[in-house]
Amino acid sequence: MSASIALQPGALARYETPSTSEPAWIKVTLITVALTFFVIFLLFPLGTVFVQALSKGWGVYLSALTSHDALAAIKLTLITAAIAVPLNVVFGVSAAWAIAKFEFPGKRFLITLIDLPFSISPVVSGLIYVLIFGAQGWFGPWLAEHDIKILFAVPGIVLATIFVTFPFVARELIPLMEAQGAEEEEAAVVLGASGWQVFWHTTLPNIKWGLLYGVILCNARAMGEFGAVSVVSGHIRGLTNTMPLHVEILYNEYNYAAAFAVASLLALLAIVTLGLKTLVERQTRKQISESQKPSES
C-alpha cells in the first residue's frame, strides 16, 4: 500500500547509510505490520462507531442526541467534569510544587500513592464509595438521618470521577517540574517576589503546556469513565445517567443506532482530545527547543 512511498530515497536521507539502516524489505514489512495493526485495532473501532451511529440516517442520529435523556446525560457529564477537573488541577499543581521543588523523606512513596487510583480497577473505585456512603456502609445511616444523598446521586458520581482522574494532572506536572528545577523560582524569591507572584509569573508560564496536557487527559477520562460511575449511579433515566451509562442503556433497549450516536459524541470528544494533545505536544517541543537555544549558543 502507501508504504512503498516511504522508500523514496529523499524520505530516508537521514538513514541512508546501509550500516545504520535496514534493507528496504524490512522497512516495508515493518510499516505494513504497523499500519495493519493500526487499521484493525484503532481505526476500525473508531470508524464503526460513526458508521453504526449513522446507519439509520441523520434524522435518527440527531433525534437521539437531542432527546431529553441524552441532553440530561450530556449535562450531567459536563457538570461532573466541571467539578472533578478543577479540583484535580488544584491538587496536581500543589502536589507537583511540594514534590518537585522540595526535598523530603518518603517522597517516592507519596508518588506511588498518588499513582494508585490509576492502576486500581474502576470497579473497585466504585465499590469503595458504596462501602463508605451506602446505606449499609460507614456513613450511610448518618447520611440518611440528615437526608444527604451521595450515593446514586450527583455527589457520588462526582466523587468516583475525582477518584479515577486523581493522578492525571499531578503525574503530568511532577516530572516536568522536577526537570525544570527550582533555580528560576529561587532567583525570583531572592529578587523579592512573593510566593504567589513566583507561581504566577515564573512557574505557571513554564508549566502551562504540561498543565494543559494533564487537564486534557483528565477531562477525557472524567467524561468517559464507565466502570466506577456505573457502580455508584442508580441508573435513573434523565437524572443519574452520564453519557457512557446512557450508551449502555440505549444499547440494552435495542436502540443501537441511538447508542452509537451518543457513543459517537464521546468518540468525537476523544478525537478532539487527541488533536489538542498533539497541538500541545508541538507547543511543548517548541518551548523546549526555544529555551535550549540560548544555552547552546
Closest approach of another protein to the CB of residue 129, in Å: 6
Question: Which amino acid is residue 128, in one-letter code?
Answer: I
Q: How many CB atoms lie within 10 A of CB 48?
A: 13
List the one residue from 79, 239, 283, 287 that touches another protein (CB under 8 A): 239
223 neighbors 77 (Cβ within 8 angstroms): yes
Closest approach of another protein to the CB of residue 297, in Å: 20
Closest approach of another protein to the CB of residue 213, in Å: 11
214 binds another protein (CB under 8 A): no
Task: Encode 180-223 in three state secondary structure.
Answer: HCCHHHHHHHHCCCCHHHHHHHHHHHHHHHHHHHHHHHHHHHHH
List the one residue from 54, 78, 79, 137 that touches another protein (CB under 8 A): 137
Span of 204-212, 275-283, 288-296 interacting with another protein by CB under 8 A: 275-283
Residues 60-119 that bind another protein (CB under 8 A): 63, 67-69, 71-72, 75, 90-91, 94-95, 97-99, 101-105, 108, 110-119
Closest approach of another protein to the CB of residue 139, in Å: 10
115 neighbors 109 (Cβ within 8 angstroms): no
Span of 204-212, 218-226, 286-294 interacting with another protein by CB under 8 A: 218-226
Choose among 3, 2, 1, 8: nearest CA to 28.
Answer: 3
* Cβ distance to another protein smaller for residue 153 or 208: 153
Distances, alpha carbon 115 to alpha carbons 111, 156, 250, in Å: 6, 21, 34
Distance, C-alpha 255 to centroid of its chain: 28
Residues 146-185 that bind another protein (CB under 8 A): 147, 149, 151-152, 159, 162-163, 166, 182, 185
140 binds another protein (CB under 8 A): yes
